[in-house]
Structure formats: C-alpha cells, structure tokens
Amino acid sequence: MRVTIERIMPGQDEKIALIRAYLVNHWCISEEEAERHLAPHNTLGLPQSWVAVLPTRVLVGHVMLALERNGLCGVKDQPWLQALFVQESLRMQGIGRILVRVVEETGRRYGYRFVYLDTIREMHFYRNLGWEEIGTDVWARGAEKDTVTVMRKRLD
C-alpha cells in the first residue's frame, strides 16, 4: 500500500476536523479538550500530528507526538506518542510502523533520549518495534478507567 506521511499544519481544517472527531469518539473527550490536544502549545511546536494519506488523498492513519508535563508512571516532561490509528481495512500493511517511526525520528531530532506511550492492549505491536514496558498505571477520564501499560523507546 503506497501512503505518504504528511504533517498536519495549522489551518488544514479538514484534516484537523477528522482527527478531532477521532479523539472525541475514541478517547471519549470533549471537543474543547480535543482542540487543546491538537493546537501546538510550546516552543517545539508540540503537539505535532501526522496523517497517512493514499494517492487518492484519503486519510487512512494518524499519530501525534505531545509533550506531557505529568505523564503516567511518574514520567515528567517527556514526549508521548498518542492517538495512533490506522483505518481498519488497511491494517497489517506497514502503515502503523511508518507512523511510529515518524514520531521516533521527531523525538530524536528534538534531542530526547526516550519517547513514551501508554496502551491498553497493543503491547505486542510496540514490542515488535523495539519498545519496552516500564510499568502499568490507571488512565482515568470521568467515570471511565482503564489499566494501561506504559512503554518507552530509547532513541539513541
């Protein structure tokens, strides 16, 4: 499957609207909170989002790199891979791997030693890509609670 990876830039309203809808539906957060996640809010220009796009210009995947002041498992001021998804009909064709690599390269370029993420059940996918588990924590939003595994990738 031939996809190109494009960074979402401010003003690309159509792409941003699609990602906002994903965050609201899959993360169960409000529109306002999704907006905050998507708007660059520090000097590195993080969070940054990328989309995987088919030659037909259809968006089939997304990933985001965000700086978390207080991450899970007591991780402070580190970059986190968030909101990775690939359209269901196009999974297992290498698109997820490419999106993860983009995040790792960006973290490396900014001089970070590690990039982090939390996941409920995709540990095997990330282990395959060289990530290690560092612990578990509870992810809570409103009444919703999940135990997540926190993982990191060494970037040097």
Question: Residue with structure tokens 């690599």?
Answer: 101
Instruction: Tell how far CA 140 is from the center of its chain.
Output: 18
27 near ligand COA, judged by CB under 6 A: no
Is residue 141 part of the contact set for ligand COA (CB under 6 A)?
no
Shortest distance in whole angstroms from residue 11 CB to ligand COA: 26
For ligand COA, give the closer residue by CB, 38 or 95.
95
d(CA 75, CA 49): 21
Using CB under 6 A as the binding rule, whether residue 47 contacts ligand COA is answered as no
Q: Which of 47, 79, 96, 107 binds ligand COA (CB under 6 A)?
A: 96
Q: 27-58 in b/e burial notation, b at 16+ Cβ within 10 A?
A: bebeeeebeebbeeeeebebbbbbbbbbeeee
How far apart, in Å, do the first and last CA atoms of the chain sit? Answer: 29
Would you count residue 86 as binding ligand COA (CB under 6 A)?
Answer: yes
Q: Which of 25, 94, 105, 146 binds ligand COA (CB under 6 A)?
A: 94
107 vs 94: CA distance, rounded Å: 20
In whole angstroms, how close is the CB of 124 to ligand COA at the nearest point?
4
Among 36, 91, 109, 141, binds ligand COA (CB under 6 A): 91
Measured CA to CA, the distance from residue 136 to residue 24 in angstroms comes to 24
Looking at 25, 30, 93, 147, which residue binds ligand COA (CB under 6 A)? 93
**Interface positions with ligand COA (CB under 6 A):** 84-86, 91-97, 119, 122, 124-125, 128
